[in-house]
Every structure is written in C-alpha cells, then in structure tokens.
Amino acid sequence: MSGTLTLLDFAGYVALLLWGVHMVQTGVQRAFGAALGAVLGRALGTRLRAFAAGLGITAALQSSTATGLMITGFAAGGVVGLVPALSAMLGANVGTTLIVQLLSFDLTALAPILILFGVWMFRRYPPGRTRDLGRVFIGLGLLLISLHSLVDLFAPFQNAPLLRILLQALGSQPVAAMLVAAGLTWAAHSSVAVVVLLMSMASHNLVAPDAAYAMVLGANLGTAINPIIEGVTGDDPAARRLPLGNLLTRVAGVVIGLVLLPWVGPWMTQLSEDPARAVANFHTLFNAVVALAFLPLLVPYAALLTRWLPKRIDPDDPARPQYLDESAHDIPAVALGNASREALRMADMLQTLLALARAGYKRDNRHRLPQAKQLDIAMDKLETAITLYLATLDRESMTSDDVQRMEEILAFTSNIGHAADITHGGLLSHATRLRKQGWTLAPEQREQLDESLGHLLTNERRAAALFVNADLRQARALAGEKESFRALEVQAAEAHLQKMKSGQVEEAEIGQLYLDILRDVKGVNSYLVGAAAYPVLAKEGELLPSRLRESAN
C-alpha cells in the first residue's frame, strides 16, 4: 500500500513539475509572444544573430520545443530562410540549458514569494501582460516546489532493491537509457523537466553517472521530435526541412555522444563533485558542442535538405503568401508594396467572412462553417507572415515615409485580423447558437441586424479603399461610423431593458444574445476604423497616435 502511495506521490510531483513548466511557457508566450516573434524576425540577417535570438527566446520561454514550434511555423510559411532558421534552432537548444543550470542550485526558499507575488498580480490586474507575468511567477514557484518535493521523495529510494536493479540495468545499456529518456521527453514536451528530474535522481545516487548522461542525450533527442509531429501541417515537403534538419543534428550529436561517453563521462564527473551539477554541465556541453560543429556547415547542409525536400506549391491554399517576395528586401518601396497587396488579400478574406456571417442569420449555412474556419486560420497565418516580412526590412535603408507606411500596414493587418477573429468567434458563433437553441429573433431585430451587417460590409470595402488612397474626407466619414454603431447598441440595450421591465422575461436570453451580436458588430466596425481611418487622421494631425491602439473601445 505504501509503495502505491509513494508511486502516486511521484506521479503527482512530476505532473506538478510539468504544469509549472507549462505555466511559465504559456505566460511568457502570452505576454511577449508577438514581441518575441518580431525580435526573431529582425535577427535573421546572419547566422550568429539568429543563433543569439534563438538562445535568448528559449531562455525566456524555458522550452526549446516551444521555440522550435514557433520557428518551424515561420519557416513553413516561407518568411524565414532555412539557414538562419537552422541557426536559431541551434541557439534554442543551447538556450534551454540555461534554465537547467539555474535550477541546479537550490532556490526552494524563493517559491512561496514567487507564488504569492504571482497570485497577487494574476488576481489584481485585468487580462494583459502584467497578469500573464503573474502566471509566470506562479509557474516558477510550482516548479521549485515540485523539484524540492521530488528530492525529498527520492531519499527513501536509495536502498530500494527493485528500483536499483532497473536503474543499474539502464546503466549497463546506454542506448536503452537514451531511448527511454527520448520517449519521456517527447511525451512531456519538455527537455527541461526531464533533465531536471534526472538531476534529482542523480543527486541521490539513484542513477549512475553514465546512465544519467545517456538519458540527457535522449532528452535532447526527444525534444526535436515534437516540431516534426506538431510544427508542420499540410503536405508540402519543404515545410519539413527545418524540423528534419534539427532532428538530424540531434541524431548526429547523440550518436557521437554515445560513442564518446566512456571518455567524456568520467571527465564530467571529475569537473563537478555534485552529481546534479555534473548532469547540468553535460547537458550544456552537449548542446554547445553540437552548435559549434554545425554552425559553419549550415549553408551546404541547408542545400542538401532543399534537394531532399523540394517545395510543393498548393495554389489553392489561402494561407500561402502570394506577394511576399524575399528578393525585394533590398528595395523597401517594392517590399512595402508587396506587403500592402498581401494585406488587401486579408481584407478580401474578411469580406467573405462577413458575408458568411450575414447569410448565417438569414438561413442555415452550417455547411459553410469549415470554410469560415479555414479563412480565419489563413488570416492569422498571413498576419504573421506580413509582420515578419516587414520586421526583416533594413530600417537604415528606409525613408521616414517608408517607416510610416510600414506602420500603417502593420496597423491595418493587425486590426483586420482582430476583426476576423470577432467575426468567426463571435458573429458566426452567435448564429450557430441561435440555430441550435431553436431561437428566432424578432422581425424588427432581424431587419435591423441585416441592415447593420450590410452597413458593416460597406465599411469594410471603404476601409480597404482608404488603405490604398488615404483620402482624408473618407477617413473622417469612416471614423464617424463608430458613433452610429454605438448609438444602435445603446438603442437596443434600452429596448431590451424596457422589455424586462414590462415582464417579458421569457425573451431575456434571446434579447441578451442580440445585444452580444450588436456588440460584436460594433467591435468589428471599430477595428475597421482603426485599420484605415485612424492612421490617415493621425498622419494629418487630427488624431493622437495613441488612439491607433484604442480602435476597439
């Protein structure tokens, strides 16, 4: 019975460790995800800069797997060259060793303070960067507590005969130990968690040094598997160049590491008397050596991967950029024109989404929902592609007008992307709820909603035209549309309140849903104003630039 309880304790602490790592990763991604992507995009000029960016981002995310998935997505979208992407992956693999080095010290005393401060930030602030940082602090505290608990839990096992037999068997079979650790890392999505777990086991002499080092090799191999499985969608072989290239560098390093382990292992043990520190040092040494070995070879290596996996173009994929020509980077005016054309493609997709939403309130068009979802996903990918395409432009070769146009394009794509999210996640979802619940809007509500959506479609076309011609009169007119949609919402809210006062409670849910629909309509229109009208007004000095970030209010 006690053995079963101990096993459950072990599983629980490991789960807490994984959850702490997950909270830190997601918190950093939510707080700085877009900024990290922009940093990565700007750092792709040379291999060394890309390597440094990959290292720094992974040190922040505490996961080479997360960085690998992000870089793989950029490379699959065609906005990142293969050589700098491979270099960034090598940097990511080194970056993940920094947190392991930090956790090799006993920082348990900081756990309660981190959790207290994190919970206060999470509860005190509304959704945003500060609240996400609170999530990070909570995750760090849970991570430190789980490590301390695992260390205490392992102490009684030092004399457990069955466990010693199993671990001794792995000690004499380094390949098997490596494969076990690779499987655990793949399942956990975190080499940090697995290596830290090995450090805890090594500190209690539960695993021999050579077996621990072999399992560290396995953890490095397992973390390269996730981007291949999860980071690539579609059937284009070229999208698999980066994850496969990263995996092959891991495989080569692991094979050489296993061969040299009888000589390197004793040297690492002599370098540090603390077994946990020795495991952390071996993890760092392995990734540093692999990076130094492959950095000079990336150009021919990338050419080899390109020959192995030729690009297959699907002209029907709406998420594939059509105008982002990498060769135009040396001429900013041409590159900005390309980005503008791609941004207008996003506007065309939003027009289709809005038309689908309008039709959804007139008739059952559930068969068009997969198309709407595909468009929403495609617009997210295009927004990322445009942002990274612009981030890699050389600002030193750009005029002030070029920089201003670039900011206008970024504002347009961001707002159009937000409008698409509301259209798909709000307007279309509300139409689906009406159908599933068997509810019917009142005739005057249906007529008013259809007119509003028609007006919204008109404003979307006006925003796209304004993005091209920057006409001040049209910008003023479009900005004035916010007041009409706000007045419509206020009018509907007052009518709903009067119905409630007159005792028509049975229509409460339908009335509330109708108000939610109108709020989403107003929100989409606000993003259209922010996409095209506000940049023109700010340029003419009729609007403060800060209002560009408040278009949804």
Helices (H), 234-274: 241-271
* Ramachandran quadrant class, 470 (left: phi over 0; alpha: psi -120 to 50; beta: rest): left
pLDDT of residue 291: 94
The answer for residues whose C-beta is within 8 angstroms of residue 44's C-beta and 6 or more apart is: 50, 53, 80, 81, 84, 85, 88, 392
pLDDT of residue 37: 54
pTM here is 0.54
pLDDT of residue 460: 93
Residue 155 is classified by DSSP as G
- Say if residues 507 and 499 touch (Cβ distance below 8 Å): yes
For the record, the structure tokens of 128 come out as 């945003």
Q: Which of 497, 529, 527 is nearest to 515 (CA)?
A: 497
pLDDT tens digits, the chain, 553 residues: what are they?
555 666 677 677 777 777 876 777 667 666 665 555 555 555 555 678 888 878 877 776 656 665 665 666 556 555 567 888 888 889 888 988 887 787 767 677 788 888 898 899 888 887 777 888 888 888 878 877 876 776 566 555 545 555 555 666 666 788 888 888 888 788 766 777 778 778 877 877 778 888 889 999 998 998 888 777 765 555 667 767 888 898 999 999 999 999 998 888 888 878 877 888 888 899 999 999 999 999 999 999 989 988 888 876 555 678 778 778 765 666 677 788 889 989 999 999 999 999 999 998 888 878 888 889 889 999 998 998 899 888 877 776 677 778 888 999 999 999 999 999 999 999 999 888 888 888 888 888 888 889 999 999 999 999 999 998 888 889 889 888 888 888 888 888 887 777 766 665 556 778 888 888 989 999 999 999 999 888 888 887 766 444 444 443 4
Residue 542 is classified by DSSP as S
pLDDT of residue 549: 43
**Residue 164 to residue 470: CA distance in whole angstroms:** 74
**Residue 469 CB coordination number (10 Å):** 10
